[in-house]
Structure 1
Amino acid sequence: MTAAVERPSVDLLTFGESMVSLRSAGPLSAGGALTMHVAGAESNVAVGLARLGHSVTWAGVVGADPHGEFILRQLRAEGVRLEHREVAARRTGVMFLEQRTADVTRAFYYRSGSAGSTLCPEDVEQALSTGARILHLTGITAALSLESRKAVEYAAEQAAGAGAVVSFDVNYRSKLWSREEARKVLAPLVRHAGILIASDDELGLVAAAPDSAPGTGESAMVAEILGLGVREVVVKRGAAGASVHTPEGRWDAPAVPVTSIDTVGAGDAFTAGYLSALLDGADVAGRLQRGVLTGAFAVSTAGDWEGLPGRAELALLGTTPSGATQR
């Protein structure tokens, strides 16, 4: 009898809905050309880590249609391993992204009843069984459907129990649910997380005290979250940089100065850099620095993930003068 060969574990496992993004350079109502891209917070992080040399698995569901085929092809091309299911009866979700002005981008979703929203615990069970050093989750997946919510809860509990680091990005989307609905679902998930990632206006969705409570500031909410067993609370501040709170103290890093072209996907790029440095054994300050650096690549290039750096490119920003040509 031939002994079973165990599949090697990966550095990071993530799952969620990836969609086709059709991008417009101007108002959609005026017509014009659209460009086709892959969009999805979890797959953005997966691509970011794969480009930095880590082994990554993305689990998800797509329709048995050209859009789903496009997503799978793009992720494979980036070196991301796939644990996916194709559904003939459902379509792959689509979103339109409109560059309404130089400073305002609007997203229009066509994802209700999509193949991705049928993701369930069984879809992630096999991926979990192979092992991962980090499980990365977002609040977006929990908002898609009851089954997707169960998948997030199941994965968080299983991964934490197996000793994996659970990274949880709140990633609140107001077009998917209200803050009150999100708080009821997301707050209980925090007890499984080793790393909580949130923008400064999302902390109140997972802290014990609602963000509407008078006098509830960041330090109080962070203290509550750390008291639940979270080891690191990472706060994304956009153009103001980012912070990390741990029981040992607080670290801050300013944003890397670049010319901003497209801010979509910047938070996911930051997360990819932060988790990459964690996998490399960097300290908190080092993780924070790589996070703001990969975030800078994202905002200074077009696309959700297309401009994310390879490991050899990390030194391009901060060392090359603005506008210079590296020869």
Structure 2
Amino acid sequence: MDVVTVGETMTLFSPNEHGQLRHAHSFSMKFAGAESNVAIGLSRLGHKTRWISRLGEDEFGDAMEAFIRGEGVDVSFVTRDETAPTGVFFKEFRRPNDTRVYYYRKESAASRMTADYIKEEAVKGAAFLHLTGITPALSDSCQSVMDKAIRLAKANGVKIVFDPNVRLKIWKSEEEARRQLKHFIAESDIVLPGEAEAAFLFGKKEAEAYPEDFHVLGAKTVIMKIGKKGSIVSQKGGAVDHVSGFRVERVIDPVGAGDAFAAGVLSGLLDGLSMAEAAKRGNAMGALVTMVNGDVEGLPNRADLVSFMDGGLDDVKR
């Protein structure tokens, strides 16, 4: 197994019209969750991935598990809950570059996950454990899930990759979010923040100054997204390197770009690329996803990714 990831995926209803959600009359049903997005992105690039979660014993859960399994992701450690539903959320395309999301996930099956659901055999043997800051925001029991997954990873020599993925709507408070996120950053080998997330955690400053804040907490490697400018890479004790991005002429849907970035970075590391080369692959994956409506619909296979990075798409410039 290359990458194991743990977290909630929800049924996504995406309106077929642009504008305020109140005016939408028809929707497309899809599935989206940061952790499963990463697992699917890696699977499409030929890597072996496993997604651990809990679903409701309902039609949404049945459809979701079948979809993710169909993408080549191992779902053998996904459990079902007869008393709680699979989470749901809605997207709203108000206008260009203004996409909003509305969650209906309180008391969902995934939010009721406990540490007992994380088995050593699910983590052992993987190269990386991928986690995000969404999972601990769901409930106190989900925080214990994260702690156990990290403990098992460390015991089995599995590197921990953490994406803060700040979603303030689901945290009890900003103070709680900062405290918990810093706790998990301290436990991680590689951290994949966005510049805005770094500002939330450490205050406003120049992008190149943020990696040291993560290193002080304990993170060995920081690969930070800085929007259209690309990303910056920093390993503890080394210099901060800038990795240029890909300019997209027309952004259709930015949601999911960060997950694609994570998949690209992990794919690069699994392939033995340098940190900078892996970040470049992450930049490309993130750019590709923004050109398609949906979290996973724009995730490429390996041939398409190579073509894109070689300049094979007309509406993207290096």
TM-score of the aligned structures, taking structure 2 as reference length: 0.92
Quick check: 103-112 or 224-233, which moved more?
224-233
Match of 2:134 in 1: 140
Match of 2:203 in 1: 211
Please tell me whether residue 85 in structure 1 is matched to residue 88 in structure 2.
no
Match of 1:194 in 2: 189
1:95-106 alignment, distance < 5 Å = 95-106=89-100
Whole-Å separation in 2 of the counterparts to 1:283 and 1:323: 28
Q: Point out the structure with max Rg over C-alpha.
A: 1
Match of 1:232 in 2: 221
Task: Determine if contact 1:187/1:205 at 8 Å carries over to the other structure.
Answer: no
Please tell me whether residue 174 in structure 1 is matched to residue 165 in structure 2.
no
Change (3 A) 1:321 1:149: closer
Match of 1:254 in 2: 244
Match of 2:26 in 1: 33
Corresponding pairs, count: 309
- The aligned amino acid for 1:174 is L
Mark the runs of 5 or more structure 1 residues left unpaired by the alignment.
1-9
Task: Determine if contact 2:160/2:188 at 8 Å carries over to the other structure.
Answer: yes
- The aligned amino acid for 1:304 is D
- The aligned amino acid for 2:114 is C
Whole-Å separation in 1 of the counterparts to 2:155 and 2:196: 30
Change (3 A) 1:311 1:175: same
- The aligned amino acid for 2:196 is D
- The aligned amino acid for 1:257 is R
Change (3 A) 1:125 1:242: same
TM-superposed CA distance for 1:211, in Å, is: 2.3
Whole-Å separation in 1 of the counterparts to 2:265 and 2:49: 15
Change (3 A) 1:261 1:205: closer
TM-superposed CA distance for 1:248, in Å, is: 2.0
Indicate the percent of aligned positions where both proteins have the same amino acid: 36
Q: What are the superposed Cα offsets for residues 263-290 of structure 1, whole Å, 9 maximum, x if unpaired?
A: 1100000110000000111002210110
TM-superposed CA distance for 1:217, in Å, is: 4.9
Q: Give the RMSD, CA atoms, in angstroms.
A: 1.8
Task: Determine if contact 1:128/1:155 at 8 Å carries over to the other structure.
Answer: no
Match of 2:279 in 1: 288
Change (3 A) 1:125 1:248: same
Change (3 A) 1:242 1:320: same
Q: What are the superposed Cα offsets for residues 76-116 of structure 1, whole Å, 9 maximum, x if unpaired?
A: 11000011111111110000111111221111111000111
Task: Determine if contact 1:257/1:296 at 8 Å carries over to the other structure.
Answer: yes
* 1:235 counterpart SS class: strand
TM-score of the aligned structures, taking structure 1 as reference length: 0.89
TM-superposed CA distance for 1:225, in Å, is: 2.1
Whole-Å separation in 2 of the counterparts to 1:96 and 1:198: 24
Change (3 A) 1:176 1:127: farther
TM-superposed CA distance for 1:321, in Å, is: 4.6
Task: Determine if contact 1:186/1:205 at 8 Å carries over to the other structure.
Answer: no
Whole-Å separation in 1 of the counterparts to 2:123 and 2:168: 33
Change (3 A) 1:200 1:127: farther
- The aligned amino acid for 2:229 is A
Mark the runs of 5 or more structure 2 residues left unpaired by the alignment.
none
